[in-house]
Structure 1
Amino acid sequence: MTTSSRAGVPDMISIGIILGSTRPNRNGPQVAQWVLDTASRRGDAEFELIDLRDHPLPHLDEPVAPMLGPSVHEHTRAWAEQIAPFDSFVIVTPEYNHSAPGVLKNAIDHLFAQWADKAVGFVSYGAGGGVRAVEHLRNVCGALRMAVVSHQVAISVLTDFENYTTFTPGDRHTAALNTLLDQVVAWGAALAPLRQPSAETTLAHS
């Protein structure tokens, strides 16, 4: 999904915004749509929303670890084809019991090569802003050879949602999001030369 490049540096990178909750009555779609709407006003990258509800995956059921061999199941191959073209990601996650949703961790665990040498940033929400979920995800994504940007957007369901249901982002959240996007775009572009030779590897592991 990257446009033409100069010496391995893309003119326009593509960033997937992953909505990491699949629960009924979830607040995630409002947050993810706000991220997409804010990001789409930029001119330095292309953005697309990826909803995990559209990609139901069983608990990791591949007989070989994703980093070691090709996937045998069609659901994994379809997920790999969705993720592989993107240059970087923003993950929107709630916090469940001091961690990230199991469905999000499972989706991440299904792949390896499709994540490697890409940047990732986090927008989290929860009673405490979702920060503990992101602390776990930083370690997970680092193990997958992703560049985890330092900035984070933390949204409180206690103060940033009317009646705990309607998302009302303040100016400080928009400013924080733009800083996060600056970092994801910059790192996504900087890592492009490392991704150039990975096409064959990506196919082999999908």
Structure 2
Amino acid sequence: MLRIAIIIGSTRATRFADKPAAWLRGIVEGRTDATYEFLDLRDFPMPFFDEVASNAYAPSTNEVAQRWQQTVAQYDAYIILTAEYNHAPTAVLKNALDYAYPEWNRKPVAFVGYGSVGAARAVEQLRLIAVELQMAPTRTGVHIQGADFFGAWQQGAALEEMAHLQPGVTAMLDELVWWGTALKTAREA
């Protein structure tokens, strides 16, 4: 069975990420096409990248980074849950991506973004980063933006009640599973 990690890309004490993470958990628990597990970057407090080179060229010395690499290597595909800070992904997320390299190679990645523009600019940068990590970013992403974001963040609206987001989530998951299966088959061959 395909193993998919959902990476929570913010560590702030007041992060919004917990709301879409709970929403996604409710959705993926109803699916039988893969196993879905959450990886919270709070559980991997890596320093800012300070190795002699990428772990593609030299083993990492930081024990938390080594644990992160071993953890992400276990998965066949990824969903990155991201905020947008100043038109970019969070520094802690970029750092986590930089601390691994061969572990990401030839695996698909999808994105769920949130913020005033649904983290569209952060996701666009993450797609470029994913290509450099030899990942395959999927076409469909989910962008929790505008009234949906502010309603959930400031007014307590439930993402579960925003039915218009569901088709995008379903398409994203279906694409990720397809690509995950195809690339896992190719990696194993």
**TM-score where L is the length of structure 1:** 0.85
Where does residue 82 of structure 1 map in the other structure? 71
Match for residue 150 of structure 1 among 139, 142, 158: 139
After TM superposition, give the deviation of residue 69 of structure 1 in Å.
2.2
1:187 aligns with 2:179: yes
Match for residue 48 of structure 1 among 13, 37, 47: 37
State how far apart, in whole Å, the 1-side matches of 2:73 and 2:138 are: 20
Runs of 5+ unmatched residues, structure 1: 1-11, 198-206
State how far apart, in whole Å, the 2-side matches of 1:71 and 1:162 are: 39
1:16 aligns with 2:5: yes
The answer to whether the Cα contact below 8 Å between 2:17 and 2:83 also exists between their aligned partners in 1 is yes
Structure (1/2) with the larger strand percentage: 1
Where does residue 25 of structure 1 map in the other structure? 14
**TM-score where L is the length of structure 2:** 0.93
Which letter does structure 2 place at the counterpart of 1:132? R
Compared CA separation, residues 162 and 59, structure 1 to 2 (3 A): closer
After TM superposition, give the deviation of residue 196 of structure 1 in Å.
2.9
The answer to whether the Cα contact below 8 Å between 1:17 and 1:49 also exists between their aligned partners in 2 is yes
Q: How many residues align?
A: 186
1:166 aligns with 2:159: no
Which letter does structure 2 place at the counterpart of 1:24? A
State how far apart, in whole Å, the 1-side matches of 2:22 and 2:105 are: 26
Structure (1/2) with the larger helix percentage: 2
Match for residue 88 of structure 2 among 90, 99, 106: 99
Alignment of 1:58-137 (within 5 A): 58-137=47-126
Q: CA RMSD in A?
A: 1.5
Q: Deviations over 1:78-101 (max 9, x none)?
A: 111111100000000011101100
| Structure 1 SS opposite 2:180 | helix
Where does residue 201 of structure 1 map in the other structure? none
Provide the identity percentage.
37
| Structure 1 SS opposite 2:51 | coil
Where does residue 203 of structure 1 map in the other structure? none
Which letter does structure 2 place at the counterpart of 1:178? T
The answer to whether the Cα contact below 8 Å between 1:141 and 1:148 also exists between their aligned partners in 2 is yes
Query: After alignment, is 19-28 or 164-173 more displaced?
Result: 164-173
